[in-house]
């Protein structure tokens, strides 16, 4: 366990080479600006499924604001997630650092999990920080609401975690399977942003970030019964189950390849 914690701390230091605080501030500015613009409806924006939700629900405008802001921040923090995963997996492999690290007495399983956790923590904490700060700035009432209902906050964090893990899983699997920094970085971004566009164009929020905003909405404000009655069939099930399923498959494949078959 001590070794695991050491590796996580070491990899977090590695990621911290990036100007995280500056990126955080830039994201925040971007977030505030985009949220303001979206609210003003002066520009077209990504498809968000709750546009079609019945109006008149309690606090619906407030939640709509939270979900919109976090979904927007998610797209930006995905970039950081992809950078972290690519750097810790394919870049280290390509430069021979993985070979050195694996010559130290640590199990491949622990090494993989430590890197996964480090990759996850950075975008997760950034997303939470950007989301909370943006909300505080844009709509202080929503923050009060989140903290007055701890279960709602926990659910929101759960969904944020699930979505960030999806991004990391895509990037890690591409990094490990391609062994190439450029390929994994470009293809991860292409896939993630491609999904956004596809979700928007076909109007089915199966995978993040469209499913993220829908997930937030449904988790925060619909009871399970309401959720299923509003979204019957595979689309609703997909929102809840498809993202973690895809994430799990990608991570399991990556883990087995990394621990059993990766030749350094």
Partner 1 sequence: MALLEVHDLVKLYGRSKILDKVSFTLGKGIHGLIGPNGAGKTTTLKVLLGLTNANAGNVRIFGLDVPKESERVLERVGVLHENPRLPSWATGRQFLRYVASLKHASSAEEILNAARTADIDYALDKSIGVYSAGMTQRIGFAAALIGNPELIFLDEPTANLDPLGRIDIWNRVKELQDEKGVNFVISTHALFELEKVCQDVVILHQGTVLDQGTIEELTARYSALEYRVRVDNSTLLISDFSKSKTVQTAEAQDGEVVVSVRNPEVFFRELSRFIQETKSNLTDIKSCRFTLEDIFVEAFRRKLKE
Which CB, 39 or 110, lies closer to partner 1?
Answer: 110
Alpha-carbon distance of 176 to 154, in angstroms, equals: 32
Q: How far is the CB of 255 from partner 1 (least distance, A)?
A: 16
For position 261 contacting partner 1 by CB under 8 A, the verdict is yes
Smaller CB distance to partner 1: residue 26 or 97? 97
Based on CB atoms, which residue is closest to partner 1, 202 or 264?
264
Q: Which is nearer to partner 1, 182 or 264 (CB)?
A: 264
122 neighbors 80 (Cβ within 8 angstroms): yes
CB contact at 8 A, 18 and 83: yes
Q: Is 194 near partner 1 (CB under 8 A)?
A: no
Find out whether 139 and 62 touch, Cβ atoms under 8 Å.
Answer: yes
Mask of contacts with partner 1, 73-102, x by CB under 8 A? ----------------------xxx-xx-x
Interface mask toward partner 1 for 105-134; x: CB under 8 A: xxx---------------------------
21 contributes a contact to partner 1 by CB under 8 A:
no
- Non-local (6+) Cβ contacts of 156 within 8 A are 66, 70, 146, 216, 219, 220
**Comparing C-alpha atoms, which of 153, 195, 163 is closest to residue 71?**
163
Q: Is the Cβ–Cβ distance between 3 and 106 less than 8 Å?
A: yes
Cβ count within 10 A of residue 107: 12
User: Beta-carbon neighbour count of residue 235 at 10 Å?
Assistant: 16
Task: State the minimum distance, in angstroms, from the CB of residue 151 to partner 1.
Answer: 39
Binding site for partner 1 (CB under 8 A): 2-3, 6-7, 10, 13-14, 17, 95-97, 99-100, 102-107, 260-261, 263-264
């Amino acid at each position: 366990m001590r070794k695991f914690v050491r590796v996580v701390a070491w990899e977090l230091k590695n990621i911290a080479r990036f100007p995280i605080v500056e990126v955080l501030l830039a994201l925040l500015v971007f977030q505030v600006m985009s949220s303001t613009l979206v609210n003003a409806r002066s520009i077209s924006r990504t498809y968000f499924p709750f546009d079609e939700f019945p109006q008149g629900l309690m606090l619906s405008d407030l939640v709509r604001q939270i979900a919109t802001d976090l979904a927007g921040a998610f797209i930006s923090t995905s970039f950081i997630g992809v950078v972290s995963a690519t750097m810790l997996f394919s870049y280290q492999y390509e430069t021979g650092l993985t070979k050195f690290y694996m010559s130290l007495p640590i199990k491949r399983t622990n090494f993989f999990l430590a890197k996964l956790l480090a990759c996850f923590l950075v975008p997760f904490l950034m997303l939470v920080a950007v989301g909370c700060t943006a909300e505080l700035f844009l709509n202080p009432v929503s923050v009060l609401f989140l903290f007055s209902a701890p279960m709602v906050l926990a659910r929101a964090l759960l969904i944020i975690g699930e979505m960030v893990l999806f991004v990391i899983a895509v990037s890690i699997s591409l990094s490990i399977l391609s062994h190439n920094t450029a390929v994994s970085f470009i293809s991860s971004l292409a896939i993630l942003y491609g999904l956004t566009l596809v979700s928007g164009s076909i109007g089915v929020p199966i995978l993040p970030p469209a499913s993220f905003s829908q997930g937030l909405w449904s988790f925060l404000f619909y009871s399970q019964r309401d959720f299923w009655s509003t979204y019957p069939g595979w689309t609703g099930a997909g929102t809840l189950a498809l993202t973690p399923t895809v994430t799990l498959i990608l991570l399991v494949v990556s883990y087995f390849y990394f621990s059993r078959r990766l030749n350094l």
